[in-house]
Chains A and B, each alone.
Chain A
């Protein structure tokens, strides 16, 4: 039996395992599979249009009688700056010539928009059971509309101060994101990477600091990690890297090869790919330009100039410029259908929790 039932009751799910919303490498398919395994289906909406997000949520609902978590970014949007974009293009110029690309050709701007009124209207229309945010919370008026629509609101904290802020500003559940986690750091009250704590130091301190249920994220990919998180006071866990190699993910074939070979010491935190710090397996441009570069334009604009390179390299079967977001637990990932994996993870954790109690 799970030692903590708060999330099970709140979300009406069978297993307190949340699929990490991984923009760019998953869609409804993975979410449906995790829901079928008894976990919480998350849909990353930060890179989707309103129409596409609606279609995806409807797809999940048609195929799984389970709650849905729509996930959004809520960073403060910064206009693209011609000077810094020009500097970034120059920094990447040798790659453009290597791939025979014209640096002057028009490029579609990177499409990671913060949560806005249009998306809020969509949430009011769809009424997902859960809405989650990365990089803080949206403005109070929008948040109030989500609450009025009956949504439970999740948000990520990377330090205790952020957790307290989220509790004070209306979050219902806190996700404690340890430094191990793959993808973007959810940090929004600090920019000091060197001070981002590891999950097992952060988690009990967040649990002590807030009254809300806390979901543990970062570095967890097996039953041992899940059981340990519960011992530290978590009410649930959020897993991403564990699911990357599932057949339902949208990770492209060459990236799958890289992720399958990745050990847990192969990930780095970089700002090169989007302009915001995120953890992933180092690709060629991260190795050669980063992992941290002061030339990278502000989020999400660093991604704009990388897009033509990514497309060109992927045509050749290469992931030199592809996001390979993954956490330190990437080495524990399993190639297994996601519904089955969710059940296996839950069973492993329960066995460990039970075995120690006996």
Chain B
């Protein structure tokens, strides 16, 4: 029996599993696939690229009609506020904002009839989101791939659950890639999970095949959180946000030498841009979280949703011992 929570009820979805709106990676295909499987796909609007957004929204329109969401990086959306209207015209069930003050956008989102999802990394951000009228909060731990902050999932999730005190469902993000993680987050008091890296390694994700292969091959401890990849692409993020990526040659070369990198930033940026264009992931970042060590296959997104939901259900029904629970094909 599917796990019903306040989140599934509010969103009208079957499984408490949300797709992280990964910039460029969570395109229409992956969003639609996760939604069709009973989770909530959230289109990765990212920094905000109008042509890409219009194209992906057109692609979404041809799909199942299952509810979906659209997500943006808040501080970046503030520079291109017109993208909000384009996204809202597609009638998403929910609109997700991460990294910045949601208040300026909240009224238009709610007026359009969409639920407001806010991702937070601290109690202060959670209060700000609730004040802005957030309907759902994502509590993101430092294990997460991509941008985030310093407190880990086991710490931030119950902290936000306690602060919200039932006013909105809280979704856990960061370090979760299987049914054990979903079950664990429900026990911590979350209403569901948001997963990025796990869905990156899916058939439908719009990432390079080489990047997906690297995620599958990566073992525990092969990611690092920091600012070196942002520095490498001249992409200045506001504090306190840093980014987590796989450790590659570029990371090994510059970890702990960020100041020196800044002194040579033009040279590094040129080298980085060329590598990115060429799909050279020894230099270009593969954005991924600490759960990479749990990811061993590139599967269809629907299969992943089903696998994770089923595993969590069995653990919670006491029909399965987590110590031997993994569905890892090559275990």
- Chain A interface (Cβ < 8 Å from any Cβ of B): 3-4, 159-161, 178-180, 190, 192, 194-195, 197-202, 204-209, 213-214, 218-220, 222, 224-225, 227-235, 264-265, 328-329, 331-332, 352-353, 356-357
Partner of B180 from the list A199, A204, A332 (CB cut-off 8 Å) is A204
How would residues 154 to 186 of chain B score, 1 for a CB under 8 Å from any chain A CB and 0 otherwise? 110011000000000000001110101101111
- CB-based contact A4/B154 at 8 Å: no
- CB-based contact B143/A200 at 8 Å: yes
- CB-based contact B158/A222 at 8 Å: yes
- CB-based contact B188/A224 at 8 Å: yes
- CB-based contact A200/B184 at 8 Å: yes
- CB-based contact A200/B176 at 8 Å: yes
- Inter-chain contacts of A222 with B (CB < 8 A): 158
Q: What are 17 A-B pairs with beta-carbon distances under 8 A?
A: A194-B255, A198-B152, A198-B174, A200-B141, A200-B154, A202-B290, A204-B322, A208-B328, A224-B187, A228-B188, A231-B184, A231-B186, A231-B315, A232-B180, A233-B324, A356-B186, A356-B316
How would residues 252 to 267 of chain B score, 1 for a CB under 8 Å from any chain A CB and 0 otherwise? 0001000000000000
Task: Tell me if B51 counts as interface (CB < 8 A to partner A).
Answer: no
* Assembly CA distance A335 to B223 (angstroms): 38
Report A79 CB to chain B, min CB distance, Å: 27
- Inter-chain contacts of B122 with A (CB < 8 A): 265
* Assembly CA distance A199 to B175 (angstroms): 9
* Assembly CA distance A232 to B158 (angstroms): 16
- Inter-chain contacts of B181 with A (CB < 8 A): 200, 204, 232
Task: Tell me if B329 counts as interface (CB < 8 A to partner A).
Answer: no
Question: A161-B221, A218-B154 known; A201 and B175 CB under 8 Å?
Answer: yes
CB-CB contacts below 8 Å: B33-74 with A: none
Task: Tell me if B243 counts as interface (CB < 8 A to partner A).
Answer: no
* Assembly CA distance A225 to B153 (angstroms): 10
Q: Which 10 residue pairs of A and B lie closest in terms of their CB atoms, listed nearest first?
A: A201-B175, A198-B152, A201-B290, A219-B154, A228-B184, A233-B322, A160-B220, A227-B187, A231-B183, A231-B184
Chain A CB count within 10 A is highest, among B150, B153, B175, for: B175
Task: Tell me if B201 counts as interface (CB < 8 A to partner A).
Answer: no
Task: Tell me if B130 counts as interface (CB < 8 A to partner A).
Answer: no
Task: Tell me if B151 counts as interface (CB < 8 A to partner A).
Answer: yes
- CB-based contact A233/B180 at 8 Å: yes
Partner of B221 from the list A4, A190, A357 (CB cut-off 8 Å) is A190
Complex: chain A residue closest to B324, CB-CB: A233
Task: Tell me if B326 counts as interface (CB < 8 A to partner A).
Answer: yes
Chain B CB count within 10 A is highest, among A180, A229, A231, A264, for: A231
Task: Tell me if B277 counts as interface (CB < 8 A to partner A).
Answer: no
* Assembly CA distance A225 to B143 (angstroms): 16
* Assembly CA distance A179 to B317 (angstroms): 30
- CB-based contact A357/B316 at 8 Å: yes
Complex: chain A residue closest to B290, CB-CB: A201
* Assembly CA distance A205 to B323 (angstroms): 10
Complex: chain A residue closest to B158, CB-CB: A224
Given contacts A198-B290, A201-B143, 18 further A-B contacts (CB under 8 A): A160-B293, A192-B255, A195-B223, A198-B142, A201-B290, A202-B290, A204-B322, A205-B219, A205-B220, A205-B294, A207-B326, A208-B294, A209-B220, A231-B186, A235-B323, A264-B151, A356-B183, A356-B187
How would residues 181 to 208 of chain B score, 1 for a CB under 8 Å from any chain A CB and 0 otherwise? 1011111110000000000000000000
- Inter-chain contacts of B325 with A (CB < 8 A): 233
Complex: chain A residue closest to B322, CB-CB: A233
- Inter-chain contacts of B150 with A (CB < 8 A): 265
* Assembly CA distance A234 to B317 (angstroms): 17
Task: Tell me if B247 counts as interface (CB < 8 A to partner A).
Answer: yes
Task: Tell me if B280 counts as interface (CB < 8 A to partner A).
Answer: no
Partner of B185 from the list A205, A213, A228, A332 (CB cut-off 8 Å) is A228
- CB-based contact A204/B154 at 8 Å: no
- Inter-chain contacts of A208 with B (CB < 8 A): 293-294, 326, 328, 331
- Inter-chain contacts of B255 with A (CB < 8 A): 192, 194
Report B307 CB to chain A, min CB distance, Å: 14
Report A160 CB to chain B, min CB distance, Å: 4
Question: A195-B224, A205-B293 known; A180 and B155 CB under 8 Å?
Answer: yes
* Assembly CA distance A4 to B322 (angstroms): 9
- Inter-chain contacts of A356 with B (CB < 8 A): 183, 186-187, 316
CB-CB contacts below 8 Å: B119-141 with A: 122, 141
- CB-based contact A207/B323 at 8 Å: yes
Report A206 CB to chain B, min CB distance, Å: 8
- CB-based contact A232/B322 at 8 Å: yes
* Assembly CA distance A316 to B28 (angstroms): 64
Task: Tell me if B147 counts as interface (CB < 8 A to partner A).
Answer: no
- CB-based contact B185/A201 at 8 Å: no
Complex: chain A residue closest to B223, CB-CB: A195
Report A96 CB to chain B, min CB distance, Å: 31
Report A209 CB to chain B, min CB distance, Å: 8
- Inter-chain contacts of A264 with B (CB < 8 A): 151, 155, 159
- CB-based contact B143/A197 at 8 Å: yes
Partner of A204 from the list B189, B221, B321, B326 (CB cut-off 8 Å) is B326
- Inter-chain contacts of B155 with A (CB < 8 A): 180, 219, 264, 328-329
- CB-based contact A228/B220 at 8 Å: no
Complex: chain B residue closest to A163, CB-CB: B220
Complex: chain B residue closest to A198, CB-CB: B152
- CB-based contact B316/A180 at 8 Å: no
Question: A228-B185, A231-B315, A353-B187 known; A197 and B294 CB under 8 Å?
Answer: no
- Inter-chain contacts of A197 with B (CB < 8 A): 143, 175, 220-221, 290
* Assembly CA distance A161 to B317 (angstroms): 32
Report A252 CB to chain B, min CB distance, Å: 26
* Assembly CA distance A353 to B178 (angstroms): 18
CB-CB contacts below 8 Å: B206-261 with A: 219-226, 247, 255
Report B297 CB to chain A, min CB distance, Å: 14
